[in-house]
Structure 1
Amino acid sequence: MQSKQMNLDNLMADTDSYLRKLQYSDQTIAAYHSAWNHLAEFMSETGKALYSAHTGEAFAYDMIEKHNGYGNLSQYEKYIIQCVNVLTEFLENGTVKFRRGKIFRSLTGSIGSLMKDYVSYKKDLGVSEETVDGYRYHLGTFLLYLNDHGIVTVEGITPDIIIDYADTTVFASQNVQHMNLCIVKRFLKYLYDTGKLSKEVSHTVPKSKRVRQPKLPSTYSRDEISSMKDAVDRSSPKGKRDYAMLLLTARLGLRTSDVCELKFREIDWERNRISIIQEKTREPLELPLLPEVGEAIIDYIRYGRPVSELPYIFLHVNSPYDRLNRSTLHSIVCQYMRRAGISFEKECHHGPHALRHSLAALLLEKKTPLPVISEVLGHRNTESTRYYLRIDIISMKQCMLDVPPVNPHFYGKGGEADV
Structure 2
Amino acid sequence: MDTTVTGIGSVVVAELRAAGYMESTIGQYEKSIKALACFAAERGGVYTPALGAAFASMTISPRTGRFSAQRSFDYSRLVGVFDAYVLTGRVGLACRKRGGGGPRPVSREFIALAAAWDADMAGRDLALATRDAYGRVCRAYLVFLEARGIACLGDADGSSVLGFLDSLTGTWATSSLFWVVSNFRPFLKFTGRNDLVDAAGLARVRRSHAILPVLPDEVERLVVHACATPAIAARDAAITLLAVTTGLRACDIINLRLADIDWRARTASIVQQETHNPLTVPLTDLLVGRLADYVLDQRPDSPDDHVFLRCVAPHTRLSDHASIHRVIATVFGKAGVTGVRAGTRLLRHNAASRLLRAAVPLPTISAVLGHASPESTDLYLSVDEERLLDCVLDIPAGTRS
The partner residue of 2:387 within 392, 395, 398 is: 395
The partner residue of 1:240 within 229, 234, 238 is: 234
Structural mapping, 1:198-209, within 5 Å: 203-204=198-199, 207-208=202-203
**TM-score, length basis structure 2:** 0.68
Q: Does the 8 A contact of 1:287 with 1:376 survive in 2? A: yes
The partner residue of 1:371 within 363, 369, 382 is: 363
Q: Does the 8 A contact of 2:299 with 2:309 survive in 1? A: yes
Q: Does the 8 A contact of 2:300 with 2:311 survive in 1? A: yes
Q: 1:144 Cα shift?
A: 4.5
Q: 1:299 Cα shift?
A: 2.3
Amino acid at match of 2:300: P
3-state DSSP of counterpart to 2:280: strand
Pick closer, same or farther for the CA change 1:86–1:285 going to 2, 3 Å. Answer: farther
3-state DSSP of counterpart to 2:202: coil
Provide the rounded CA distance (Å) in 2 between the counterparts of 1:224 and 1:355: 12
3-state DSSP of counterpart to 2:380: helix
Aligned to 1:90: none
Is 1:270 the counterpart of 2:268? The answer is no
Pick closer, same or farther for the CA change 1:86–1:282 going to 2, 3 Å. Answer: farther
Amino acid at match of 1:108: S
Q: 1:214 Cα shift?
A: 0.3
Q: 1:247 Cα shift?
A: 1.7
Aligned to 1:256: 250
3-state DSSP of counterpart to 1:342: coil
3-state DSSP of counterpart to 1:231: helix
Q: Does the 8 A contact of 2:20 with 2:313 survive in 1? A: yes
Aligned to 1:353: 345
Q: Does the 8 A contact of 1:98 with 1:324 survive in 2? A: no
3-state DSSP of counterpart to 2:269: strand
Amino acid at match of 1:373: I
Aligned to 1:53: none
Greater shift, 320-329 or 182-191, is seen at: 182-191
Amino acid at match of 1:304: Q
Cα RMSD (Å) of the superposition?
A: 4.6
Q: 1:254 Cα shift?
A: 2.0
The partner residue of 1:229 within 224, 229, 236 is: 224
Provide the rounded CA distance (Å) in 1 between the counterparts of 2:168 and 2:18: 46
Is 1:328 the counterpart of 2:326? The answer is no
Q: Does the 8 A contact of 1:178 with 1:207 survive in 2? A: no
Greater shift, 307-316 or 263-272, is seen at: 307-316
Provide the rounded CA distance (Å) in 2 between the counterparts of 1:85 and 1:176: 40
Provide the rounded CA distance (Å) in 1 between the counterparts of 2:255 and 2:152: 44
The partner residue of 2:274 within 273, 280, 292 is: 280
Provide the rounded CA distance (Å) in 2 between the counterparts of 1:82 and 1:131: 26
Aligned to 1:79: 77
Aligned to 1:385: 377
Q: Does the 8 A contact of 1:244 with 1:297 survive in 2? A: yes
Provide the rounded CA distance (Å) in 1 between the counterparts of 2:253 and 2:169: 38
Deviation track 1:164-204 (CA, whole Å, cap 9, x = no partner) reads 666655545347866777777766655556xxxxx966545
Structural mapping, 1:22-171, within 5 Å: 23-24=20-21, 75=72, 78-79=76-77, 96=94, 102=100, 105-134=104-133, 137-158=136-157, 168=167, 171=170
Q: 1:136 Cα shift?
A: 5.2
- Runs of 5+ in structure 1 lacking a partner? 1-17, 42-59, 65-70, 88-94, 194-198, 412-419
Deviation track 1:296-340 (CA, whole Å, cap 9, x = no partner) reads 212222333233343122223334333234322212222233343
Provide the rounded CA distance (Å) in 1 between the counterparts of 2:20 and 2:215: 39
Amino acid at match of 1:156: D
Provide the rounded CA distance (Å) in 2 between the counterparts of 1:287 and 1:106: 43
Deviation track 1:196-244 (CA, whole Å, cap 9, x = no partner) reads xxx96654567335332202222113321111222347336x5222222
Provide the rounded CA distance (Å) in 1 between the counterparts of 2:265 and 2:338: 39
Q: 1:342 Cα shift?
A: 3.1
Identity percentage of aligned residues = 24
Provide the rounded CA distance (Å) in 1 between the counterparts of 2:186 and 2:269: 37
Number of equivalences: 351
- Runs of 5+ in structure 2 lacking a partner? 1-14, 38-46, 58-66, 86-92
Aligned to 2:3: none
Provide the rounded CA distance (Å) in 1 between the counterparts of 2:191 and 2:248: 40
Amino acid at match of 1:295: G
Q: 1:79 Cα shift?
A: 3.1
Deviation track 1:341-365 (CA, whole Å, cap 9, x = no partner) reads 43436xxx52133222222111111
Provide the rounded CA distance (Å) in 2 between the counterparts of 1:86 and 1:384: 45
Deviation track 1:12-68 (CA, whole Å, cap 9, x = no partner) reads xxxxxx989953599769x8xx9xx967x9xxxxxxxxxxxxxxxxxx9xx99xxxx
**TM-score, length basis structure 1:** 0.65
The partner residue of 1:210 within 205, 211, 214 is: 205
Aligned to 1:303: 297
